Amino acid sequence: MGVEYEGSNFCGWQTQHEGVRTVQTILEQAVSKVANHPVTIIAAGRTDTGVHAAAQVIHFDTIATRSSHSWIFGCNANLPPDVAVLWARPVDKSFHARFSAIVRHYRYIIFNRRIRSAIKHRRMTWYCHPLTASKMREAGGYLIGEHNFSSFRATACQAKSPIRNVYRLEVTQQVDCIIIDISANGFLHHMVRNIAGVLMTIGKGDQPPYWAAEVLQAQCRSLGGITAPPDGLYLLGVDYPDRFNLPRFSAPAVIW
């Protein structure tokens, strides 16, 4: 299934103790009702508290036989307004939402205006200091390619290797919004938010663009500056090998 959610009122993706609202818990309850048996869901990526998804991908095993229409509309009838199933289709047993993924796409949106927005609250990261997108764009170029991203991983990150391959990192500006689009074979815990924090520091003028390369080469999280807030972070999509015949990633022009 492809799933969309607005993460502001969730304590992240992963199921926790009873009484904690998470996306996984809500989805498992809805899917289990449609399947008429308990279901455990696996996701392409576990998003943090406050992080959104435009196209999370999940899989589950079921003995139930339902049409795609029944899975989609049945689940949505049992989901709250801030979660929606977008598509559903069967896959063979070799598919795994996390381990079969070959590219993940994220977007970080910064609302760069002196006055905060009431409408865009919790859907973008508000930053009141002027940012220079061209400097952020130049800095992002140093992070493209296969590198050791230890400087950009959370101290609690459990990944066995800090090596990741960033295929694309683009910084664009649309009126008061600065948008960071980043695609990679995988991401470490807080990696996108830490990259955004470094780029914002550079965009403000506190560091030159080459500082991004220095932080990367240091392989030390303490030199990487702030972890940007979760509000502006979106999982945009996940790519899989063609043999699974799943919807291809297509970046929306704007999210807010």
Q: Which of 48, 82, 176, 206 is catalytic?
A: 48
Catalytic-residue membership of 176: no
N residues, the chain: 256
First to last CA, the chain: 23
Residue 43, strand partner residues: 58
Asked whether residue 106 is marked as a ligand-binding residue, the answer is: yes
- In angstroms, rounded to a whole number, what is the distance separating the alpha carbons of residues 195 and 207? 14
> What one-letter code names the amino acid at 229?
P
Q: Which residues make up each annotated binding site for substrate?
A: 106
Q: Which residues make up each annotated binding site?
A: 106
- Which amino acids are annotated catalytic? 48
